[in-house]
Amino acid sequence: MRFEVWAPGVRRVGLWHEGGVYGMDRSPTHEGWWQAEVRTWDGARYGFSLDGGGVLPDPRSRRQPDGPEGLSAVVDHDGDGWRHAWRGRPLPGAVLYEVHIGTFTREGTFDGARERLAHVAGLGVTHVELMPVCPFPGTHGWGYDGVAPWAVHEPYGGPVGLKRFVDAAHGQGLGVVLDVVHNHLGPSGNHLPAFGPYFTERHRTPWGAAVNLDGPGSDEVRGYLIGSALAFLRDYQLDGLRLDAVHALADTRAEHFLAELSEAVDTMAARTGRPLFLIAESDLNDPRTTAPRTVNGHGVHAQWNDDFHHALHVAVTGESDGYYADFARSEDGPLGALAKTLTGAFFHDGGYSSFRGRRHGRAVRPETATPAHRFLAYAQTHDQVGNRALGERLSALAPTGLLACAAALVLLSPGTPLLFMGEEWGAGTPWQYFTDHQDAELAEAVRQGRRREFAAHGWPAERVPDPQDPATRERSCLDWNEPERAPHAELLEWYRALASLRHSHPLLAHTPLGDARVTRSPADSEDRWLLLRNGPLHVAVNLAGDRTAQIPLPTSHAVLLTAWDPGTRLDEGVLSLPPESAAVLH
């Protein structure tokens, strides 16, 4: 096997392989690359020594059996026996379900998660979206501090465990999407700077020096990240990737990194015949993220839409702190903000944001006929739950009837629905921020930083969960006995009915942005009802807690589903909808 490594600034490179040391030669064709031919096997341990220094793991390691600081191991992907043939599932028509492997089950492993895939498939989900699974320090964490973007976290089950999980998901008819982090690595266990200019001080990010996407050596750095993305899609037969915080990708080159990545993924999709896709997390509200490359967009296939989440959250909970303030104090009221995101995706589309102290975003032009499925709709995600001081889910902030209303607007929205694990039964467990840093100094810095962050909002330090305490992760694990008990079981059936209804109306997956229509109450503070028309369906919600809504319907309809109150009535074109309940009409 040929071992290769990019290390442009060193004089010599040695390969350590199972106790033997081998000199590496400069590549005659690729500047900065070193190579050596050594007989090897699956599982063999190896690493590289630069200019006589200690042995470091391979930047392109496919496996780190002993964690980010340990030796790398060879992974042989040839001849893998996939039990289930899989041709993929496209993004249009999808219902995604975000999963954190470490808390989806108490076991916190791929194998433990496999045992719950029948539940996910039975819910009406089409794709499981895994939070990052690349190696990170310790056993338990969110995964966004990974350092080896080609490898798989060993405590979860490593490469073999991930393949078993994906194969089992495909056997249930589920696609698999993986959350990947390209905007930073580490910091703990990050040895990339020793090998080459992977980072640059020309740009700064919340995590320090930016990944080098546009300076000297950036061709190789871009290739490093794109190569890892394609390797996961190819070797693990994944269906798509979620790209973390792409607004933190500092890139001044004429062709943005995202455009280069999307072109590479589209090329692989055409070659394999599988409908591969990318979903970006972006704070920019920039239509260029998902615009086609042919019109100078980045060509990413979809993006998370936090504006929809924020508008829905404010409408359901009444919270108005921080970034919720703009939505709560909207000129058209909270329901007006929600209506805007249901019909135009972005609330912040060039207007002033008081939270940011400046104008923000840009509108999606109606004439572009942008498919609404390019914008993900959700009431909860790991970010929006876990970044609260106590990690409260929406079920801790709103009554069950309002949870049902939120579910109806998510699952029957023009956008692509995304659910957060346990949301479908109103899980009573929180989902808190937890880490397992092995570096004591870093662990204390994270602990104190978390306390300072929430002290600014009036939270005493003792009330903020310690990220390093194992109990914080334990509290965040789902309780799989809950779905069998009231009121969880009733809410779960409501989610299943909504997902089934969405799949029975495939036109919902192809709504052009702006085609949906929203009618709302004249006064947000009193008659808090909203009526969404999306294709052939009308979704009516009454968010008021103390009054029945009288909702005029433009044409005759039949009620298909109701929740949460049996008192819903339709009489002479007026829908009487009880407090904190929802109805779906055809």
**Residue count (the chain):** 586
204: which DSSP letter?
Answer: E
Active-site residue list: 244, 281
527: which DSSP letter?
Answer: -
Beta-bridge mates of residue 570:
575
- CA–CA separation, 400 and 565 (whole Å): 11
43-46 long-range contacts, CB within 8 A, separation 24+: 43/73, 43/74, 44/17, 44/18, 44/73, 44/74, 45/17, 45/18, 45/71, 45/72, 45/73, 46/3, 46/15, 46/16, 46/17, 46/18, 46/71, 46/72, 46/73, 46/74
Query: CA 421, 304, 339: angle at the middle one, nearest 5?
Result: 100
Residues ≥6 apart with Cβ < 8 Å to 532? 342, 409, 412, 413, 516, 517, 518, 538, 539, 540
339-343 long-range contacts, CB within 8 A, separation 24+: 339/518, 339/520, 339/530, 340/311, 341/305, 341/307, 341/308, 341/311, 341/312, 342/308, 342/409, 342/413, 342/414, 342/516, 342/518, 342/532, 343/414, 343/513, 343/514, 343/516, 343/517, 343/518
Query: What tokens does 123 get?
Result: 């819910």
- CA–CA separation, 565 and 404 (whole Å): 11
Q: Which residue type occupies 514?
A: G
- CA–CA separation, 125 and 397 (whole Å): 25
Provide the 3-class DSSP secondary structure of residue 6: strand
- CA–CA separation, 506 and 317 (whole Å): 31
Is the CB of residue 411 less than 8 Å from the CB of residue 368? Answer: no
- CA–CA separation, 286 and 294 (whole Å): 16
Residues ≥6 apart with Cβ < 8 Å to 85? none
Counting DSSP H helices and E strands in the chain, the numbers are: 15, 28
Is the CB of residue 103 less than 8 Å from the CB of residue 476? Answer: yes
Q: How far, rounded to the nearest angstrom, does the alpha carbon of residue 444 sit from its chain's CA centroid?
A: 27
Cis peptide before 459 (omega within 30 of 0): no
- CA–CA separation, 414 and 516 (whole Å): 7
- CA–CA separation, 412 and 415 (whole Å): 8
Burial pattern 532-564, b for ≥16 Cβ within 10 A else e, equals: bbbbebbbbbbbbeeebbebebeeebeeebbbb
Query: CA 322, 529, 400: angle at the middle one, nearest 5?
Result: 70
Provide the 3-class DSSP secondary structure of residue 297: coil
